[in-house]
């Protein structure tokens, strides 16, 4: 299991310009472009400067995309190149395989999140008001999307299937999940529809960790994220236990 964890983390670190640097640069451009362009018109959201307000959402978006993409591509490549058979025949229990692959997604996402946090602290001075709430939100969110990456990567028949979920599902949900705005400014029915978006709760949980305030209760946000993360991880665990689509 330790070697599987090492392999998955080396997969990230060996290609760090693609796996870490590129997403960090993209998110920093969002902070600079939106902070400078809209910051002049939207001075504050509540009591928070706009360029600070958008940072938690952008960090969340960068991390969940990385956690999903890393695990989806890793497990799909393992199936495509048939070396998943070596993993399945190794003296590991199914839960160890699930954990080993999940670690890779967590490692990549945390590397991106840490780099963005340092850069944002320097650029806009974003605070961390509730570190324990932030840690809980990050862990639950990354488990959710890393596990989702495993599930999609196991079921996918082509590379397009993995990117479809990332581009058509995760990215749009992130953009309309309150990353760039507070849902309090939305009219009906968009205000109500935002509460159906699961990414909205994760963004608000992370925002509460950073700024100490959010559009909804942090307990509700953590509860919804946990209610999605646990069954998704168990789904990935079930696939490794049964070998469904892995031994085909």
Give the domain extent around 148. 2-242
Across 46-55, 100-109, 171-180, which has the greatest mean pLDDT?
A: 100-109
Round to whole Å and give the CA distance between 108 and 110: 6
Query: pLDDT class for 43, splitting at 50, 70, 90?
Result: low
Query: pLDDT class for 221, splitting at 50, 70, 90?
Result: very high
248 within domain boundaries = no
- Residue 239 above 90 pLDDT? yes
76 within domain boundaries = yes
18 within domain boundaries = yes
What is the number of domains present in the chain? 1
37 within domain boundaries = yes
Percentage of the chain lying above the pLDDT 70 cut: 96
The stretch 123-131 carries a mean pLDDT of 89
Percentage of the chain lying above the pLDDT 90 cut: 58
- Residue 88 above 80 pLDDT? yes
Output the pLDDT for position 181: 83
Range of lowest pLDDT (26-30, 42-46, 147-151): 42-46
More confident residue, 160 or 41: 160
The string over 23-57, giving b where at least 16 C-beta atoms fall within 10 Å of a residue's C-beta and e elsewhere, is bbeebbebbeebbeeebeebeebeebbbbbbbbbb
More confident residue, 232 or 39: 232
Range of lowest pLDDT (24-28, 105-109, 165-169, 180-184): 180-184
Instruction: Record the tokens describing residue 79, joined without a space.
Output: 């199936």
- Residue 50 above 90 pLDDT? no
- Residue 124 above 70 pLDDT? yes
Output the pLDDT for position 123: 84
- Residue 202 above 90 pLDDT? yes
247 within domain boundaries = no
């Amino acid at each position: 299991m330790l070697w599987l964890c090492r392999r998955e983390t080396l997969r990230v670190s060996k290609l760090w310009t693609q796996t870490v640097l590129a997403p960090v640069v993209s998110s920093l451009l969002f902070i600079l472009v939106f902070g400078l362009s809209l910051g002049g018109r939207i001075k504050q959201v509540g009591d928070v400067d706009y360029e600070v307000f958008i940072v938690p959402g952008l960090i969340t978006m960068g991390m969940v995309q990385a956690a999903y993409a890393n695990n989806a591509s890793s497990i799909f490549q393992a199936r495509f190149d048939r070396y998943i058979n070596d993993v399945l025949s190794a003296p590991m229990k199914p839960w160890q395989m699930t954990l080993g692959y999940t670690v890779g997604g967590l490692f990549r996402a945390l590397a991106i999140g840490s780099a963005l946090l340092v850069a944002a602290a320097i650029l806009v001075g974003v605070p961390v008001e509730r570190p324990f709430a932030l840690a809980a939100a990050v862990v639950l969110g990354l488990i959710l999307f890393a596990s989702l990456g495993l599930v999609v990567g196991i079921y996918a028949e082509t590379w397009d299937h993995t990117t479809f979920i990332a581009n058509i599902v995760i990215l749009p949900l992130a953009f309309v999940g309150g990353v760039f705005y507070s849902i309090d400014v939305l009219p009906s029915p968009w205000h109500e529809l935002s509460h159906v978006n699961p990414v909205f709760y994760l963004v608000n949980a992370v925002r509460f960790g950073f700024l100490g305030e959010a559009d909804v209760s942090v307990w509700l946000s953590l509860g919804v994220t946990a209610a999605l993360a646990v069954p998704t991880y168990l789904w990935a665990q079930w696939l490794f236990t049964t070998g469904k689509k892995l031994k085909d």
